[in-house]
Chains A and B, each alone.
Chain A
């Protein structure tokens, strides 16, 4: 007598995969996170292009435009630009440190980056507070409207960047990143450098030209 054929059991006999299983990676030959952040940064480039393009149209079409040096504290903002560039440099130094598994240097450089970023936001808040105290509000004229829109949106990006840098810093302190896995830090760094890059342009357009 032969053994009875067991009944079909879905839990055992059903196929384990509902899609083809390849023995190679079907994704692009680049880290998915890095690909995604660059797509995102592409949209950010378009966003700031729209703001800057509108600024150029409004400025070039205006009968007059005040000299920014007469209205804004260029020296303070120039120092703030120094600070933002320093923060970009410390982010790169921190990334290089984690790539060499030097956690002590990483903690120092990345912590400094967060402090520099927070300092930049603090100076911008001080600048806004000072301007508002002297009735230099966005509804005064086109100069102030464009000034607050461009620096305001950039400031929001800086705040998001500081939060992002701090979040990955906490994760790094818990031992998440190493010389074998540092993409999370790299993505936060790319966003931060983009914010720095935009400020280099905005500082020239809004404060110096």
Chain B
């Protein structure tokens, strides 16, 4: 039972604001993808700012958090450290990916079990952590060529992993 009515705000104003923000966000994304696609900080930072502002208004007004008491607020804010913890725990997987033998984005060939990546997929220009270009003007620094060359080449001698030495029962 709810004996006391919670405060009511102007749904119409908030609705118009959210629609305007969505339209502005889509327009910003379209413009950014055409004109400053390589500037990830500007493009992604702007888009995430739009998402944050929209999420803030939905959370505070539509979900009524602005008018809730300490118990409900504390209940929700308690999840934020958990969210931060999860992201921090996932971060090494992102940061150390270039050091993995079986890094993200490479696939094992189902026939011979060899790690492969298509050359045309090795373009890292769309990766915020890797500013290399396909045309070679700025080589991708993520993969040290000497150590992980087999990931990027079709040369069978380089692709084939070293066969394990056969055990002839020398201990007997």
Contacts and interface: CB of A to CB of B under 8 A. Distances in A.
A93 B15 CA distance: 10
B78 A200 contact: no
Given A35-B75, A45-B79, A204-B47, A63 B124 contact: yes
A61 B30 contact: no
Interface in B137-167: 140, 142-143
A190 B124 CA distance: 41
A111 B69 CA distance: 30
A186 B2 CA distance: 10
A67 interface: yes
B126 A65 contact: yes
Contacts, number: 168
B115 interface: no
Main secondary structure of the interface of B (DSSP, over half): helix
Given A58-B104, A65-B127, 8 more contacts: A57-B97, A60-B129, A64-B123, A69-B33, A78-B26, A89-B18, A92-B62, A207-B29
6 contacts: A63-B105, A63-B140, A74-B29, A190-B64, A200-B55, A209-B48
Interface of A: 28-31, 34-35, 38-39, 41-42, 45-46, 49-50, 53-54, 56-58, 60-67, 69, 74-75, 78, 81-82, 85-86, 88-89, 91-93, 96, 99, 142, 179-183, 186, 190, 193-194, 196-197, 200-201, 203-205, 207-209
